Chain A
């Protein structure tokens, strides 16, 4: 199974900050990497698919990059509604696997 490791596990940031979250795969997954946002008590929401494609309806302040084993999710200017937990997930092989999550908290 492909292991996905996110860093950091948590971070504190202020509204307006630029935030970057990293995801590393245990082997090359080309660009088969998705990002999700989850708020407490809610289901995850797809933000980015195939490493850098923005899902319909997702604000353009969210962006993704990377290929191979190293990927990043960037929020260019953090908004109050962006405080949540973010997960990466590989779609390169079965079983699909997720990172452990990054909790973005208000500073």
Chain B
């Protein structure tokens, strides 16, 4: 079964760090584009970061320099390292396979999400 399962969310103080994980089954993370997307009640869905199969990474301006996307090919896991966390980073974080249709892409498989709350 093709599946993504996120773990690692929780309550963290402003300025703190947290790493969330996304374990994939049924397909190979390193052979696909993989993204993180977050959702807040006030701002809806926001794309956060992508890692391409070749290893290139890109980030939203709001997290650039603070967040790092990576993967462990041997474990088939995607990570998001989040540093210098702010209250506005509070959201449900989803990992999503970003399927390459050739000349376009879309988030075709999503995890169940993990909640990250930044608060003192």
Contact = CB atoms under 8 A, between A and B. Distances in A.
Interface in A24-72: 31-32, 34, 36, 42-46, 49-50, 53, 55
B58 A87 contact: no
B42 to A, nearest CB: 11
Given A44-B45, A98-B44, A91 B108 contact: no
B61 A95 contact: yes
Given A31-B104, A49-B106, A50-B104, A101 B44 contact: yes
Contacts of A74: none
A97 interface: yes
Contacts of B111: 43
Contact of B44 (A1, A31, A100): A100
Chain A interface mostly: loop
Chain B interface mostly: strand
Contact of B101 (A45, A49, A96, A99): A49
A88 B110 CA distance: 16
Contacts of B103: 50
B46 A49 contact: no
Given A43-B110, A43-B112, A43-B113, A91 B105 contact: yes
Contacts, number: 58
B110 to A, nearest CB: 4
A96 B34 CA distance: 13
B118 interface: no
Interface in B38-93: 44-47, 50, 58, 60-61
Interface in A74-101: 87, 89, 91, 94-101
Most buried by A among B35, B45, B99: B45
A89 B107 contact: yes
B68 to A, nearest CB: 16
13 contacts: A31-B104, A34-B106, A42-B112, A44-B45, A44-B107, A45-B110, A46-B108, A49-B108, A55-B108, A89-B107, A94-B50, A95-B60, A98-B44
B69 to A, nearest CB: 13
Interface string B8-50: 0000000000000000000000000001000000001111001
